[in-house]
């Protein structure tokens, strides 16, 4: 009881987080080729993105309470084991239906990302945990920069399965790293799932929570729609190779990293709500300009991916502040707010990614995807203006 527990290394926590990001992004440049391989419409193969996100949304709600009961280490190792078996299934699947089934099972890797943050909270005091979580989650902005590029090169050299082989190799390496280095950090107790769910109505009655949650869901949803539709636009509309699409996928990640930096430097000075509004406008205006240029016949990789780089910048400014806003509504329910809001964002993203895939076809060009992204980005402006109006009303009454 009195002996100190050996802490997992930073490399272990970053590797756990990075594997989840890798599994989401590396194969994206291969989507059109995979649709041809399985002889299915692009919208069907795009379910490997939207379906993955939908399952991830459910798992975000469940894995935390489960790890509170059974421990972080067994849940992480079990999740990685299931992920590896599912990855083998994607490689051997003879049909699109079986491939998509195993791809949905791969979503269990989401547990590792969620629990890497839980481990940080377990082992560091509150005043240091935030900075350490930021350091660990740097993988979420760094891996998406390089994973699609690697995936595009692998696709051209070895075919689409090479990306899934890479996922498997990464999964094995991280499983071994966790086996030897990930010590148990949970200290018993925790809030049971039933009790956690019982607190949801408290948040559901808060206008501010819904405003912040909708701002985050819509802003992040634009990016998820991009994930689902950009491979099609890049290869079918802009006639790019998988490797070229992979290179351009770095644009929103670079923007997101810069947006996070701006958020760290300016949020305290300008305040949460103002930063969310700035982020939402930064997302919306360049996408709207790109849509106008597209309708005028000015399709180009620079216009399309350049506008998405600004969307990444806006998300980097908006999301940290919207997440902080959700958790500030009822500080004693911060964990529940974070889990519920995160699940809403991923679930909304899954729906928007599926919608993008359904409307994209050779004759439509990039317009359907740009319209979806402009609409949801504009929706995030409405959401934060609603919060600001409600707060002004309350202050006026006081």
Question: Helices then strands (H, E): number in the chain?
Answer: 19, 0
Q: Is the pLDDT of residue 286 over 80?
A: yes
Q: How far apart are the first and last CA of the chain?
A: 51
Residue 12 structure tokens: 């272990």
The CATH classification number of 7-194 equals 1.20.1250.20
d(CA 154, CA 123): 38
d(CA 307, CA 272): 24
304-352: per-residue pLDDT in tens?
999 999 999 999 889 888 877 876 777 656 556 666 777 788 888 878 8
Look at residues 116, 90, 98 and name the one whose alpha carbon lies nearest to residue 20.
116
Q: Are 222 and 352 in contact (CB under 8 A)?
A: yes
pTM of the model: 0.76
Q: Are 143 and 25 in contact (CB under 8 A)?
A: yes
Q: How far is CA 204 from CA 213, 275, 329, in A?
A: 11, 24, 11
Q: How far is CA 239 from CA 26, 49, 134, 225, 235, in A?
A: 20, 22, 37, 20, 5
What is the rounded average pLDDT of the residues 360-389?
90
pLDDT for residue 139: 58
Look at residues 270, 280, 269, 259 and name the one whose alpha carbon lies nearest to residue 385.
280
Buried b vs exposed e over 260-289: b needs ≥16 C-beta within 10 Å?
bebbeeebeebebbebbbbbbbbbbbbbbe
Domain boundaries, the chain: 7-194, 199-398
3-16: per-residue pLDDT in tens?
455 788 878 888 88
d(CA 333, CA 202): 9
Domains 7-194 and 199-398 equal at CATH topology level = yes
72-104: per-residue pLDDT in tens?
899 899 999 999 999 999 999 999 999 999 999
pLDDT band at 354 (very low <50, low <70, confident <90, very high): confident
Residues 6+ apart with CB under 8 A from 73: 178, 182, 183, 184, 185
Residue 102 structure tokens: 């195993």
Residue of higher predicted confidence among 173 and 132: 173
Q: Is the pLDDT of residue 298 over 50?
A: yes
Q: Is the pLDDT of residue 120 over 80?
A: no
Residue whose token pair is 């992004």: 25
218-248: per-residue pLDDT in tens?
998 898 889 888 888 988 889 898 888 888 9
Residues 6+ apart with CB under 8 A from 14: 135, 136, 138, 139
d(CA 324, CA 122): 20
d(CA 365, CA 372): 13
46-73: per-residue pLDDT in tens?
889 888 988 988 888 777 677 777 788 9
Q: Is the pLDDT of residue 373 over 90?
A: yes
pLDDT for residue 320: 80
Q: Domain 199-398 falls in which CATH fold?
A: Growth Hormone; Chain: A; (1.20.1250)
CB atoms within 10 A of CB 310: 22
Residue whose token pair is 């699609």: 148
């Amino acid at each position: 009881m009195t002996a100190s527990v050996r802490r997992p290394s930073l490399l272990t926590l970053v590797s756990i987080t990075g594997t989840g990001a890798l599994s989401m992004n590396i194969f994206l440049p291969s989507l059109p080729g995979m649709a041809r391989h399985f002889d299915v419409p692009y919208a069907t193969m795009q379910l490997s993105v939207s379906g993955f996100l939908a399952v991830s949304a459910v798992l975000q709600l469940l894995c935390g309470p489960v790890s509170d009961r059974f421990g972080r280490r067994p849940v992480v190792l079990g999740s990685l084991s299931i992920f590896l078996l599912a990855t083998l299934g994607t490689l051997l699947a003879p049909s699109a239906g079986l491939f998509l089934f195993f791809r949905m099972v791969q979503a269990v890797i989401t547990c590792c990302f969620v629990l890497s943050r839980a481990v940080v909270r377990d082992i560091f005091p509150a005043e240091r945990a935030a900075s350490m979580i930021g350091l660990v989650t740097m993988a979420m902005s760094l891996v998406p920069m390089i994973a699609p590029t690697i995936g595009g090169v692998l696709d051209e050299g070895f075919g689409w399965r090479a990306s899934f082989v890479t996922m498997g190799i990464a999964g094995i390496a991280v499983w071994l790293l966790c086996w030897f280095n990930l010590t148990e950090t949970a200290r018993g107790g925790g809030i049971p799932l039933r009790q956690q769910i019982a607190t949801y109505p408290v948040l559901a009655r808060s206008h501010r929570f819904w405003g912040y949650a909708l701002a985050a869901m819509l802003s992040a949803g634009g990016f998820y729609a991009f994930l689902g539709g950009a491979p099609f636009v890049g290869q079918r509309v802009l006639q790019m190779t998988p490797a070229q699409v992979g290179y351009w996928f770095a644009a929103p990640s670079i923007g997101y990293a810069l947006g996070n930096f701006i958020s760290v430097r300016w949020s305290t000075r300008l305040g949460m709500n103002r930063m969310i509004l700035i982020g939402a406008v930064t997302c919306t205006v360049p996408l709207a300009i790109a849509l106008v240029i597209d309708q005028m016949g000015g399709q180009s990789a620079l216009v399309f991916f350049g506008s998405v780089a600004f969307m990444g910048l806006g998300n980097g400014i908006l999301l940290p502040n919207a997440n902080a806003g959700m958790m500030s509504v009822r500080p004693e329910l911060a964990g529940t707010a974070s889990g519920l809001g995160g699940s809403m964002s991923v679930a909304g993203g899954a729906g928007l990614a599926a919608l993008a895939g359904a409307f994209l076809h050779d004759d439509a060009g990039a317009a359907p995807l740009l319209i979806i992204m402009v609409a949801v980005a504009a929706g995030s402006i409405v959401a934060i203006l609603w919060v600001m109006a409600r707060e002004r009303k309350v202050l006026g009454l006081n």
